[in-house]
Amino acid sequence: SFFQVILQVRNQVARLNNVRYFTQEMNETANIEKCVNNVTLLGRVGADPQKRGSEHPVVLFSLATHTNYKYESGEFMQRTDWHKICIFKPNLRESVYKYLKKGQRVMVNGRISYSEFKDAEGKNVLATSIIADDIIFFQ
């Protein structure tokens, strides 16, 4: 019927307008879109921190976290994950380098960073690091 045709045309125009508004909105907000990359780890330091670089210094240390599993048999299993922690913030970097020691329990807040480099044999290697924003020391 005539009214059904009018309704179909109106719906198509409405869809096109919505697409146009959505696209315009996306273009206007794409540069200020909020994203989240947060990680919090609680574990033990695997080795005393190392300081590297002079122009852009960084302090690095490894952090072990554990996940416990229980099998149907009742046996417990523990899996250890090792995380590479990088500290660039000057005050935090110096405190960590001076006071943090192997075996100490810490909580790290930061973000995950992925990078790629070539090893000694020329093969591409993917590396995952945690860029620390804050570290809480425990006794």
Distance, in Å, from the CA atom of 51 to the CA atom of 59, rounded to the nearest integer, reads: 4
Distance, in Å, from the CA atom of 130 to the CA atom of 109, rounded to the nearest integer, reads: 9
Provide the whole-model pTM: 0.72
Distance, in Å, from the CA atom of 59 to the CA atom of 3, rounded to the nearest integer, reads: 72
> What is the pLDDT, as a whole number, of residue 34?
86
In the chain, what are the domains? 37-135 (2.40.50.140)
Q: What is the pLDDT along the chain (139 residues), one digit of tens a residue?
A: 666 666 666 666 656 555 555 555 555 555 778 899 999 999 999 999 999 998 889 999 999 999 999 888 989 999 999 999 999 999 999 999 999 999 999 999 999 999 998 899 999 999 999 999 999 999 7
